[in-house]
Structure formats: C-alpha cells, structure tokens
A and B are shown apart, each in its own frame.
Chain A
Amino acid sequence: MFTFFLSMFLLIFPLTYNRKEKRKFIINEGERRFDLMNLSMSSVESLVAQIHGLSSNIGELTQLRNYLKQCDDLLRTESTRLAPLLTELDPSVHSLGYLYILEACTSAPISKDQANKLVLSVARFINVCAAEQIRLAPEKFISICKRLMLQVMLLEDPMRGVAPLLTSIRKLQSSTEQLTTLHPDFMLLCLLSKCYKIGLSVLEDDIFEVDLPRDLFLYCYYGGMICIGQKQFRKALELLHNVVTAPMPIISAIAVEAYKKYILVSLIHLGQFATSFPKYTSSAAQRNLKNFSQSYLELVNSYSTGKVSEVEKCVEIYKDTFGSDNNLGLVKQVVSSMYKRNIQRLTQTYLTLSLQDIANTVQLNSPKEAEMHVLQMIQEGDIYATINQKDGMVRFLEDPEQYKTCEMIERLDFSIQRIMRLSKKLTTMNEVMSCDPSYLGKVHIQLGRSGKDLIMMIFIPFLLNSPYEERRN
C-alpha cells in the first residue's frame, strides 16, 4: 500500500514541479518587459488590467500573486497615486489585487481625519473579500488588519475594530483550530472595548495549531483576562496554565504576568495553589517565575492559613506591588473568596449552625453580614442551605442533584463523545509526529544509531513531556 502511494507521488511530483517552474519563468519574462517600459503610470494601469484578467480561478490567482510580488516595490513608490485604482476593482471579485493595492495605499503615514476613512475602507474590504483569495497573501492581509487596529487605537475607539477583526480571523483561518497572528490583536481589542462576550465566542474554539509561540502566549494571556472579566475562572485558569507551562527557551514578561494572574485565579476558583510546577513545565519557567512573583506567593501562604485577617494583612503589605501590576481588583476578589471558601467548608462539617457562629468562624463582623454572604452563595448555587431567620440558624442541605435526569445523561454522553474525539486526534497526531522527518532527525541524533530505541521513540514522540508517561509502554 505504502509503496504504491510512494510511486504515485513520485510520478506526479515532477510534473507539478515542472509546471510551477515554467510559470515562474514566464512571469519573470513579463516583469522584465515592464521594467523596460520604465513608465510607472502605464505599468500601474497594466497592473489593474492584469488584476482584472487574472482573478477568475486558482491557477490564475497564483500567477497573479507571483506577479504582484514582483511589483511590490513599484507599488510602494506609487502608493500615493493608487487610491483611485481601488474604485476600478471589485473587492469581492478581485480580492487579491485589491488587497495588494490597499496595502500599498495605507502604508504611508496618515493624519487623523484620513484615519477614519482608512478604517472604513479596510473594514469594508475585510467584510466582502473572498477568503480563498486573501489566503494567498496572508502577510499582506495581516498587515492591513494590523494597520486597521493601530488606527482604531489611535482613534481611541477600539470597538470599531472588533467586528472586522473577527471576520478577518474567520477568513484567514483554514480551520478553527488554527491560531492566527490576528488572534492576540482581536483579544486585545475585545479587552479594551470590554466586548468580553464576543471574545469568549472565539475562545470557545480549541486551538491546536500555532505558528508563533508569542501569538499563543498573548492570545492566552488576553483570553485569560477576558474570561476573568466574565468570571469564567475555569476557562481562565486553563488559558493561563497554557502560558505558564508552555515550552519556552527563555522566560518572557507575558509568562510572568500570566503566572501572577494564574496564582490569583487559582486562589479564587480552587481555593488553593500548588506552588510546584507540573513536570512538563519548561526549566526556564521553573527557575525564574517564582522569583518574579514573591508577593503573590506570600499571598498564597497567607491564604492557606484559612484566616481572613492574615490575607488582609498580606494584601496591605504588598498593596503597591499588586496595584502596579494592575491586579488589585483580582486580589480583592481573592479576599472575598476566602469568606466563601470558609463558609463552604462549614457545610461539610455542620448540619445546622447559627449565623453568629458562622460570623465568628469566618471572621465576619456581624451575623447580618454572614447572612448576606450565605444568601449570596445560595443564590449562586455554591451551597445548598436554608436560613431560619427566626432562630438565626442556617441549615445546610446536601446537593439535591440526583444524576437521574435526561440532561445529566446527555451531559455525560457529550463529555464521552468529546473525549473520544480528542483521543482520536491524539492518536493521529502521534502518528503524524512519528513520521515527521525533522523529529526523526532530532531523535536520531539524540539516540545515536541504536535502531531499537529509535523505534521506541517513534511510538512515543511527544508524550515525553506529558503527564501521561505511563503510556510509554
């Protein structure tokens, strides 16, 4: 079977290869002719003609792209005179050509009035352009999107950029699992304009394919902040965890800030923080992160005593650090989560408890305050309890969930399906990885030439760094 594919591949490959080469050759010829004409205006016009002529199918578009690449310098020098050309092109049909010209147009620095116009035209283009065309020149597309974002920021109206960037991400992505360079920018705009919900809709996609680690770090960091804003602490924890434990050769500021937030969110959501890193964390992170976040680790220590007064004391000491890190809000949430955690703990040990006792144990000032806390927690579904106002007693109940409803079964089923899908993906990825020549090359060097070990390594390529090491065998 395999040999069959191989021979097929060998048969086809030379043909395609030749064809490409030939086309390139023709274009080179054409370009030389343009140069000879040495008349910029007419060349710009012929450019439009070319765009018109070569926008119908994918073959022609590749040709057009190569041609446009050659003209890049020309476009740059002529950037001021290009604007009128845009009216001659239909952005939805001639997306590729339009993209190049638009990119050249917007490259020059502009005034604030023009900025408004630019934002409009770019946004319109993003809306109507054809996805398959712009994917031929992603760097140009990204460049105009970045410019759009820059202008929106200068105009101090980040919300205007949210929708166009969302569209552009969707058009640029070949699948929802891919992380584009635009993701972090989009997240940043969502954060600045407080459009958390839109941000969340993108965060719901599972990201697996990453080109630049930096993009991922920023995406996860901003994404984490959006989730914090929406109180989706579990998701936030997951995203920040990704940053902290990502493989990195050297420590980055993003990782440090993410680690700080990770600590705080972990305290709020889980009520504890394990200071040891998982073993797949890069050594750079393991060595350095703690040094940069001493005050946060102090907070963890004081939190683990279970006493509100200790935590408050610690917050008071490090108030400036937390403030300058812009984490003071989160720190306050940590403090209030302490009350919650303590009340929750009481539900495990007590069946009934007076409000006064609750107030004493969790260090609240009055039974009234304790009542408010309990009430709020009942409302949020954190605890199950009834308050008897006459006696000032709280009666804690058991979780009423009986796991008998259809919804619960559905949830379970959904969970199982999802895990099966993921496992399948894992297997496929494992297989792909074990066939990756660069991986094999690296492993080969590491292990010398002992064949048996090499085969072993092929079967366990990336589980090396995972918590599931028992699967090795």
Chain B
Amino acid sequence: MEPEDNAAGPVIGDEEIHANGRDESDSQRHRPIISGEQLDIEAYAALYTGRTKTTRLLFIADKCGAPSMELEALRMAYDEIKKGEDTQLFREVVGKINGRLGPNYGLDDAWADAVDRRAESRKDKLENELNAYRTNLIKESIRMGYNDFGDFFYAHGRLGEAFKNYVRTRDYCTTSKHIIHMCLNAILVSIEMGQFTHVTSYVGKAEQAVDGLDPVTIAKLRCAAGLSHLEGKKYKLAARKFLEVGPELGNNYTEIIAPQDVATYGTLCALASFDRSELKSKVIDNTNFRNFLELVPEIRELINDFYTSHYASCLEYLGNLKTNLLLDIHLHDHVETLYEQIRNKALIQYTLPFVSVDLNMMANAFNTSVTGLEKELEALITNDQIQARIDSHNKILYARHADQRNGTFQRALQTGNEFDRELRAMLLRANLIKHDYNLKAPRKY
C-alpha cells in the first residue's frame, strides 16, 4: 500500500493547482457545478434553459443559506422570469426578494397585467381555434391545437393543465414521431412537477415507438429514465441509464439536464452501486461516457482515483464537491446516502485483498484518524459487510474466514430448536382452537 500512497500525495497536489489555475482562465463553461469554492451562479444558470433555469435558481436561493448568494440567484431568476410569461412565479419571486434588490426588482404590475391580458386573449384565440378544428374533425389540427394549449399553459406555469393538454394530444397522434413528441412534453412537465412515476411510464411509451427514435431522442429518454430511477433511490438502475446516454445529447436537453449533470449523476450512482469490474467496464472504459467525463474533470479524476485505490484524493474531491451538489435540484436528497455508500465501498474494497491491514496506514489512505476509522470499521463489521476483526492493541485489522462447517452445524441446531418450539406452540394453539370449535360440548372437568 505504502508506495502507492506516497505516489498519490503529489498527484493530488498537482491536480489541485491545475484545477485552480484553470478556473480563472476558463470562461466557466463547465466548471461551475463542480468547483470546491462557492458556486458561480451565473455560469451555472447558463447551462440551462427554459423553466428549469428559474426553478434551479430558486432552489439555490432556498438552500444556499448565504444572503449574498441568495440575492444573486433571485436576481437572475427575476430577470429570467421577466423574459417569460409566468406572472404567478413572478409575484412569488418578488415576494422572496422583498425589496432587497432595490426598486428595479420590485413588483412590476404594469408588466404583469399586460402579460395577463395578453394571455387571456391568447387563450380565447386558442380556444376558438381548437373548437373550429374539432368541428372539422381534422386530427392533425386538433393535435396541434391541444399542443398549443399545452405550450401556453406550460409557459404560464400551470403545469397540471399543461400536462393534461399534452396527454390529450395522444388520441390524435398519427405517426410515431407525434407520439414521441407527446411523450417528451409529458416527461418535461412531469419532471418539473416532480412526478417521476409519470416520467417512467412515458419513457416506456416513447421507447416502444421504434422507428421514430433518433439518437438525440434516445439520449433524452435515457436521461429522463435515469432521473426517475435516481428519485426512486434505485441508484444502480439510474447509473446504468446515465451511462447509456449517447454523446449526441450535447446541449439539446438543457431544459431538463446539462451534460455535466449526466457525468456527475452517472458517476456518483455508479460509484455507490457498482462493483470494481463493472466500474471498469461500464464507466472507465466506456467511450461514450468519457465524452461526458471530459466536461467535468474533477469527476473524471475522482472515479479514476477510486479505481486505482487513491481513496484519500477521491474522498477529497468528493468533499469539495459536496456543498455544490447539495444545491442541485435533483441530487440534493441523495448526496448523503450516495456519499456514505461510496465511502463504505471504498473501505470495504481497501480491506478486501488483505489478510491483515495496518490501521495506521489505512487511516492515512483515508485521511482520517485511527480511532475514527476503527469506529467506521466496527459499524461495517457489525453489518457483516467486512469479514474481519480488529486487533485494537496492535491496531491491525485481521481478515476472518468463517468456518463453514461449524457455521452449518450451528445453524442446523438452531433451526431444529426453532422448528421444535414453533411446532409445539402450534399444536397447542390448534388444540385451543379445537376447544373453541367444541365449545358447545366441553368435557366435564
């Protein structure tokens, strides 16, 4: 272990310097989510388009806890909303800003009213059009009508209505392209609403339409499926989906997810749930996924460090990323669990090949104290995840090989006893129940 550790030391240093250096020069195209320092909100927001940009900004404002950052996020959200037509959200944000950003960011009633009026008239127009289409029974036009309605409601933040209208187009779809279009819309709205069961079902529906699927759509669907698995805490499935996302995704799906996110989500889930060989074959040797990893070098370094057993640097990367990941709208709930699983996996993997491990050295490798490590190992041993025992006197961990034969004997005896006990209890109960049945004619005692 020792030489490797020594080798790891300088590498970490290099990496750090390198990363810091580039941060200043690079125009924040793909840095922001990932850096150890405070999140650069502007760069982060630039990754996304559409509604998710505002919701992500608002989410950051809610969670970050630092007033300056909160206001920055709110300011950008305000600007962003003003470009759109969602007056409801606008009022909400203004309420949150609460005048802290000066008069320029107050409640612009004139704008809101104008938008509302326009919306009203547009709605009437759409309704008339749709009615006309319906009387004419032109399928394609009706579909378009509903679709417009969906877009309209989506733009105004009425997600439930939008979802309904998008789904209504389904009856009027004539080609598989239409179906995919409908599904993508439904998925988009469901993700916004946080209803991931819908996402799964519409991904399934879209995937059934074989001929209309181009690589970009496939990549989009994979992302959506990955998100819904992530939300359902099925990290292994989520990892698989993210890893299958093709490089065609590019910046085509920024209304939901940025390619940087695909790399982050996929890697973290894979680290937490894959074993070593899977990690090698599905992540590190995956040429498709490498394109995504290139976007987020920290993540790439992290997974390579994990695979080459440089746990200290791997964990350090993770620690740096943590604050920003906690601000991610999809990942924040899962960060703790994923981190814990990754750390446990690292600990287990470290001990696996050895008959005995020096705890001092191991503590070095994990950048922690011996006593802390002992506690962690204790928990893992208690949960039967590491077969070993700790020699606390000499600070050595000894692998323990269970004696199959003795174990079998022990289990057999125990099972026999249990069976014996249960059988007797059962016979007794049966007799009592019988007594119940015979209550009318009890024996005379």
Contacts and interface: CB of A to CB of B under 8 A. Distances in A.
Place the interface of chain B in its size category. Answer: 35 or more
Contact of A352 (B394, B417, B423, B437): B394
A417 to B, nearest CB: 11
A207 B406 contact: no
B91 to A, nearest CB: 47
A350 interface: yes
Interface in A407-428: 408, 411-412, 415-416, 418-419, 422-423, 425-426
A209 B443 CA distance: 12
Interface stretch (A113-121, A372-380, A460-468): A460-468
Interface of A: 138-139, 142, 180-181, 206-213, 216, 238, 241-242, 245-247, 280, 345, 348-354, 357, 391, 393, 396, 399, 401-403, 408, 411-412, 415-416, 418-419, 422-423, 425-426, 429, 433, 436, 438-439, 442, 461-462, 465-468
A346 B389 CA distance: 10
Contacts of B413: 411-412, 415
Given A139-B445, A246-B432, A412-B412, A352 B393 contact: yes
A352 B409 contact: no
A318 to B, nearest CB: 29
A209 B393 contact: no
A415 B414 CA distance: 10
Interface in B406-420: 406, 409-410, 412-413, 416-417, 419-420
B429 A246 contact: yes
Nearest to B421: A238
Nearest to A239: B425
A426 B440 contact: no
Contacts of B117: none
A354 B438 CA distance: 63
Contacts of B416: 412, 415-416, 419
A282 to B, nearest CB: 10
Contacts of A401: 406
Given A353-B393, A408-B409, A439-B437, A348 B381 contact: yes
A120 to B, nearest CB: 27
B427 A429 contact: yes
Given A403-B405, A415-B416, A439-B437, A280 B429 contact: yes
B131 interface: no
A418 B382 contact: no
A242 B428 contact: yes
A35 B60 CA distance: 104
B432 A247 contact: yes
B323 to A, nearest CB: 31
B59 interface: no
Contact of B389 (A208, A216, A351, A393): A351
A416 B412 CA distance: 10
Contacts of A206: 424
A139 B444 contact: yes
A438 B410 CA distance: 44
Contacts of A345: 382
Nearest to A415: B416
Interface string B362-388: 000000000000000110011000000
Nearest to B443: A211
Contacts of B440: 438
Given A412-B416, A429-B427, 12 more contacts: A138-B445, A180-B445, A207-B428, A242-B429, A246-B428, A349-B377, A349-B390, A352-B394, A403-B410, A418-B420, A422-B424, A466-B430
A351 B429 contact: no
B391 A210 contact: no
B114 interface: no
Given A245-B425, A354-B392, A422-B420, A209 B431 contact: yes
A352 B392 contact: yes
Contacts of A442: 437
Contacts of B433: 247, 462, 465
Nearest to B430: A462
Interface string B131-151: 000000000000000000000
B442 interface: yes
Nearest to A357: B392
Nearest to A180: B445
A425 B426 CA distance: 12
Contacts of B438: 438
Contacts, number: 137
A419 B409 contact: no
A242 B405 CA distance: 34
Contacts of B426: 426, 462, 466-468
Given A213-B435, A415-B413, A348 B382 contact: yes
A419 B423 contact: yes
A442 B420 CA distance: 30
A453 B438 CA distance: 22
Contact of B432 (A213, A238, A412, A426): A213
B442 A211 contact: yes
Given A245-B429, A247-B436, A399 B406 contact: yes
Nearest to A206: B424
A242 B431 contact: no
Counting chain A CB atoms within 10 Å of each CB, the highest count among B389, B405, B413, B419 belongs to B389
Contacts of A208: 424, 427-428, 431
B434 A433 contact: yes
Contacts of A439: 434, 437
A311 B444 CA distance: 49
The 10 A-B residue pairs whose C-beta atoms are closest, nearest first, are A462-B430, A403-B409, A352-B393, A351-B391, A349-B381, A351-B389, A415-B416, A353-B392, A466-B426, A349-B378
Contacts of B392: 350-354, 357
A139 B434 CA distance: 22
B228 to A, nearest CB: 32
B430 A419 contact: no
Contacts of B389: 348-351, 396
A438 B421 contact: no
B429 A423 contact: no
A113 to B, nearest CB: 33
B105 interface: no
A425 B421 CA distance: 14
Contacts of B406: 399, 401-403
B428 to A, nearest CB: 6
24 contacts: A138-B445, A210-B428, A210-B435, A211-B445, A213-B432, A247-B429, A348-B382, A349-B382, A350-B391, A350-B392, A352-B393, A354-B393, A411-B413, A412-B413, A418-B420, A419-B423, A433-B434, A436-B437, A442-B437, A461-B430, A462-B430, A465-B429, A465-B430, A468-B422
B390 A350 contact: yes
B339 interface: no
A412 B381 CA distance: 31
B398 interface: yes
A381 to B, nearest CB: 15
Nearest to A208: B427
Given A238-B425, A349-B389, A216 B432 contact: yes
B430 to A, nearest CB: 4
Contacts of B393: 352-354, 391, 393
Contact of B427 (A180, A396, A408, A426): A426
Counting chain B CB atoms within 10 Å of each CB, the highest count among A416, A429, A462 belongs to A462
Contacts of B381: 348-349
Counting chain A CB atoms within 10 Å of each CB, the highest count among B377, B413, B437 belongs to B437
B419 to A, nearest CB: 6
A208 B423 CA distance: 11
A422 B425 CA distance: 11
A304 B424 CA distance: 30
Nearest to B412: A412
B144 to A, nearest CB: 57
Given A349-B390, A426-B427, A142 B445 contact: yes
A207 B438 CA distance: 19
A351 B390 contact: yes
A329 B124 CA distance: 80
